[in-house]
Amino acid sequence: MSDLTLLIKSRYPLVCVETQEEARLAGILDGICRELNLALFTWSVADGLRRRGLEQPVYDTADPMRALQHVQAARIPAVYLLRDFHPYLRDPVVVRRVREIAQECTQWSVTLVLSAPALELPMELRTEAARFRLHLPDEKDLRAVVEETFRDLNRGGRVSWKLKPDELAVLVRNLRGLTLEEARRAVSRCILDDSALDHTDLVKVLQAKKERVEASGILEYFEVDREVAALGGMENLKAWLRRFRAGFSPKAREMKLRPPRGVLLVGVQGCGKSLAAKTIAREWGLPLLRLDPGRLLDKYIGESEKNLRTAFDTAEAMAPVVLWIDEIEKAFAGAGSSDADAGLGRRLFGTFLTWLQEKKETVFVTATANDLSATPPELLRKGRFDEIFFVDLPSPAERRQILVIHLQSRGQNAAEFELGELVEATDGFSGAELEQVVVAALYGLLAEGQRRLTVAHLLEEARRTVPLSRSRREYVEELRTFARDRFVPAN
């Protein structure tokens, strides 16, 4: 509010706000105008101009040109909120009229606030305008919405408040990333479902958050507490996670320690990098967002970069959160060249590096990569990430641990299996290949009508499998050689 007040007091003639929260923006402007003793008018093509606080709209101002003529003729100190006005800025006559108002209005303290979900100004108006970012509501705003919504629904005394103070804090944190109206609807649905607001609603509001995140089509929301398999091996990575978890504590803030920034997981395909990203979120008790680089790309100029910024804005609004960038090399392919994709990869890469270095909110980035040859060298420089781990093929002890995990997760008693021969027979297998051995053996069991899985079944499937370490031996060895002295072993 103070930033927007400063823009209006500085007499910027045009302020552009990209937001879905029209009502919230109007409420903020109303408070500013009361403080500065300015009139507030709102405009839409449906209603025309309407002075805030008065029911009667200004006559014959639904047409954008007539509305601008009224602004120019009224000459009173005021703020005009023009909602979804941008389609009319394709008309050169409308643009000319806005320019004239912008050049004259500093004499009588008029600010035009243009509001829309997406807003692109014509070249003639860009030097006259300031852009304002309306952040999503913080925890203070969301707590107020929870309490206000409960009061509204409890006027007849028919609903009950069963949240403890710490549960209220969790509920509010789970609402982060939603607009005020989305949060209000989510809380209302929770209360009306069982006439109470209690601990069971902590999970329910996450569904609303998941729906909002995935509506953008750029990010996916993962519920990591459900059906996330245990991570076999990677003891160095697990030890690092236990150590750096303290970076989120109040004690770390007292010591002026910033929360951990992120890790880059490089390694052989199928060795558990994706599962490690989910494990980080589960171990630290944080939400997990997945960014698929393929979803960023758009055929229109500038839209891919905008999609990336939208993803970062969403992640920051939900902080603290783990942002998993899967196969990060795909997002910045061609970053070292400006010819292959007209410089798109380089621009996306620059945007990412700037955000990674300057981000204010607690967004822990977990990036995974398979092909280092396509990874820009700047990404590997110390300081970009807190640590870069190399995920190698599992050792014999890790293969045993992984096999036990997959057997037990499919209803088998791992203690009944003598796994020594199988561990030896699966030398060079990745974690994904070990899982497939178990899955394929169980399918064979069903097909043959047998009831009991044996080590012989598993050995037969292992012998049929050609692991990546053999089918692409040169690739795996080259990757291992490159990583040996550069990265910290995760295993």
Give per-residue pLDDT as tens, 454-487: 899 999 999 999 999 999 999 888 888 888 788 8
Residue 382 and residue 422 in one domain: no
**Exposed / middle / buried, residue 147 (Cβ in 10 Å: 0-12, 13-18, 19+):** middle
Most confident of 220-229, 262-271, 324-333: 262-271
What's the pLDDT band for 439 if we cut at 50, 70, 90?
very high
Position 297 scores a pLDDT of: 67
For residue 443, the enclosing domain spans: 396-471
Place of tokens 């051995």: 437
Query: Which of residues 319 and 488 earns the better pLDDT score?
Result: 488
Burial track 210-227 (b if 16+ CB lie within 10 A, e otherwise): bebbeeeebbbbbebeee
Residue 111 and residue 149 in one domain: no
Position 327 scores a pLDDT of: 85
Residue 11 lies in a domain: yes
Structure-block tokens of residue 466 = 């050609």
44 forms beta bridges with: 48
What's the pLDDT band for 335 if we cut at 50, 70, 90?
low
Residue 440 lies in a domain: yes
pLDDT higher than 90, residue 63: yes
Least confident among 136-145, 159-168, 272-281, 343-352: 343-352
Residue 227 lies in a domain: no
Choosing from 365, 390, 415, the residue where a domain stops is: 390
Position 403 scores a pLDDT of: 92
Give how many domains the chain has, as a whole number. 4
Position 410 scores a pLDDT of: 87
Position 341 scores a pLDDT of: 54
Residue 253 and residue 330 in one domain: yes
Residue 485 lies in a domain: no
Position 254 scores a pLDDT of: 86
Position 142 scores a pLDDT of: 92
Residue 152 and residue 285 in one domain: no
Mean of the pLDDT values across residues 207-218? Answer: 78
User: Which run of H or E residues covers position 130?
Assistant: strand 129-132
pLDDT higher than 70, residue 333: no
What's the pLDDT band for 49 if we cut at 50, 70, 90?
very high
Q: Which of these, 378, 264, 385, lies nearest to 324 by C-alpha position?
A: 264
pLDDT higher than 70, residue 310: yes
Mean of the pLDDT values across residues 313-338? Answer: 77
Residue 198 lies in a domain: yes
Residue 122 and residue 162 in one domain: no
CATH at 374: 3.40.50.300
Residue 358 and residue 211 in one domain: no
CATH at 415: 1.10.8.60
Q: Which of these, 298, 277, 306, lies nearest to 289 by C-alpha position?
A: 277
pLDDT higher than 60, residue 386: yes
Q: Report residue 257: phi and psi, to 5°.
A: -95, 125
In this structure, the chain runs to a length of 491
What's the pLDDT band for 119 if we cut at 50, 70, 90?
confident
Position 300 scores a pLDDT of: 53
Residue 14 lies in a domain: yes
pLDDT higher than 80, residue 344: no
Please give the span between the terminal C-alpha atoms of the chain, in angstroms, as a whole number.
49
Residue 74 and residue 156 in one domain: no
Residue 261 and residue 158 in one domain: no
CA separation (Å) from 300 to 35, 287, 296, 304, 482?
Answer: 42, 31, 11, 8, 37
User: Which amino acid is residue 188, in one-letter code?
Assistant: S
Residue 339 and residue 457 in one domain: no
Contact 213, 179 (CB under 8 A): no
Residue 488 lies in a domain: no
Report the C-alpha gap between 50 and 30 in whole angstroms: 13
CATH at 190: 1.10.8
Residue 280 and residue 411 in one domain: no
Position 324 scores a pLDDT of: 93
pLDDT averaged over every residue in the chain? 86
Residue 170 and residue 307 in one domain: no
pLDDT higher than 90, residue 81: yes
Position 336 scores a pLDDT of: 52
- Per DSSP, helices labelled H in 216-292 are 235-244, 250-254, 273-284
Residue 41 lies in a domain: yes
Position 263 scores a pLDDT of: 92
What's the pLDDT band for 31 if we cut at 50, 70, 90?
very high
Structure-block tokens of residue 266 = 């490089």
Choosing from 390, 415, 431, the residue where a domain stops is: 390
Position 427 scores a pLDDT of: 93
Position 309 scores a pLDDT of: 84
Using DSSP's 3-state secondary structure scheme, residue 272 falls into: coil
Residue 114 per-residue DSSP state: E
Position 39 scores a pLDDT of: 93
Q: How many other CB atoms sit within 10 Å of the CB of residue 64? A: 21
Residues 6 or more apart from 325 whose CB is under 8 A from it? 291, 293, 331, 365, 366, 367, 368
Q: Degrees (nearest 5) of the Cα angle 219, 223, 224?
A: 110
Residue 307 and residue 406 in one domain: no
Report the C-alpha gap between 317 and 359 in whole angstroms: 12
Position 330 scores a pLDDT of: 75
Choosing from 91, 106, 132, the residue where a domain stops is: 132
The proportion of the chain whose per-residue pLDDT surpasses 90, expressed as a percent, equals 35
